[in-house]
Structure 1
Amino acid sequence: MSELHADADRSASDLLVEAVTTLSAGRDLETREGSLQLVRTASEVEAGARTVLHQAVLSARTRGNTWASIGAVLGMTKQAAQKRFATTAIPSGADLAADERILGPVGPFDEMRELALAGQYGWHSVEAGLNHHRVMHSPTRWEHRRVSGARAARRLTDQGWQLVGGNLGYTYLKRDLGTPALIEPAHRA
């Protein structure tokens, strides 16, 4: 059993403080540089939490929950919830080229799995949206990564990964695997 599930009485705030402290391990938090590292880590955790919240709201909406019920959970009116989160709509495919698609809706829990599957068929992300990716087709397979922080993104670009873009604290990268893409199964009407 994971430590996160071992003590169900611990608050999310307590778990976040523990996570930030763990991520800052090995730093002397009493120094000026160490205290700035703690601020940087806390900021990355906050950005990640915002992303998860936006994706959770999208997921709740796609499963039929009303703005009123989402607002109630968040302690706000339905109008406030809708105003804050309604911008998560997926763009239409009207402006797509013949070799492009919109992959979505996707959330933080299924996004990378969906990109991995699409990559096997030659689809690679060219634009990362809040709950979708604009993907383009090629004859080769692709691999995708999602990372937090500029250092992780820089390390991957130094290894030959291509930058796709960023979204709410995440950076998306891709690389061409150079092997032929699988042929997509025909869709039946």
Structure 2
Amino acid sequence: MMAQPSDHSRHALTPAEATAVRDAVAEAVLGTPAGLRADLEGDPDAYLRLVSASRTAAEETSRLLRESISGARAAGHSWDTLGRLLGVSRQAAQQRFSSTTVTATGRPGGPGQPSRKVIGPVTAFDEMALLADEGRRGWHVVDYGTMSHVLESSDRQWEHRRLLWSPGSAARLHLEADGWHLVRDTTFPWGYYTRQLDLPAEPV
């Protein structure tokens, strides 16, 4: 009987996929700053621009790793599984990557201010149905964290959508042209969108 593959071997990239990702990052660092690749042939200052581009790439890949781990947690994966995939212990993975749950910024709703609340825990598989229900009652997302959303109240109904994150995608541009608003500028792997409807909020 063949042994079952470990979590790491089942979910890790193949060597070819890992090489392709690394190559794409290196190409972005060398190819995005205007003229950098050519300037490295003879301009010492180009190497400082290379450092700056590499630092930006490192910051962004670090952010993507952190947010992809939050996404995996929202999809129901344990710290033990994530630790094995990252090559560290469960405790080390949780200590390094656990994020603070978002709060409702302490607003029960004063004079002239909408109320806020946090819903959670939610997962990648039930959050949109929950947001649809909340939207009919006049609540819409204004922020989110791992397995939670911050909602703000209004007297109108709201719609919610999510798209896999791609800053210049045609789908994103189409949504924004159709009146949808992105909740947060930097988000991964999902971008969350809201749109107010011309319908009164349903009673609770």
TM-score normalised by L of structure 2: 0.55
1:160 Cα offset (Å): 1.2
Contact kept in structure 1, 2:76 and 2:123, CA below 8 Å: no
The runs of 5 or more residues in structure 1 that have no matched partner are 1-10, 18-46, 185-189
Over 3 Å counting, the alpha-carbon distance change for 1:176 and 1:135 in structure 2 is same
Percent identity between matched residues is 33
Contact kept in structure 2, 1:126 and 1:135, CA below 8 Å: yes
Structure number with larger C-alpha Rg: 2
Over 3 Å counting, the alpha-carbon distance change for 1:78 and 1:157 in structure 2 is same
The 2-side partners of 1:135 and 1:112 are apart by 13
| Match in the other structure for 1:42 | none
Aligned partner of 2:166: which letter? G
Over 3 Å counting, the alpha-carbon distance change for 1:112 and 1:49 in structure 2 is farther
| Match in the other structure for 1:149 | 166
The 1-side partners of 2:180 and 2:92 are apart by 40
The 2-side partners of 1:79 and 1:104 are apart by 23
Contact kept in structure 1, 2:102 and 2:144, CA below 8 Å: no
1:52 Cα offset (Å): 5.9
1:162 maps to 2:173: no
1:173 maps to 2:173: no
Aligned partner of 1:183: which letter? P
1:143 Cα offset (Å): 0.4
The 2-side partners of 1:155 and 1:135 are apart by 24
Over 3 Å counting, the alpha-carbon distance change for 1:48 and 1:118 in structure 2 is farther
- Corresponding pairs, count: 142
Greater than 6 Å deviation, 4+ residue runs: 47-50
TM-score normalised by L of structure 1: 0.59
Secondary structure (helix, strand or coil) at the match of 1:90 reads coil
Aligned partner of 1:180: which letter? P
Secondary structure (helix, strand or coil) at the match of 2:122 reads coil
The counterpart of 1:82, out of the listed 89, 94, 112, is: 94
| Match in the other structure for 1:115 | 131
Deviation readout 1:50-77 (Å, 9 max, x if unpaired): 756424435658xxx7x56763576421
The counterpart of 1:125, out of the listed 130, 141, 150, is: 141
Contact kept in structure 1, 2:102 and 2:149, CA below 8 Å: no
| Match in the other structure for 1:30 | none
The 2-side partners of 1:124 and 1:103 are apart by 11
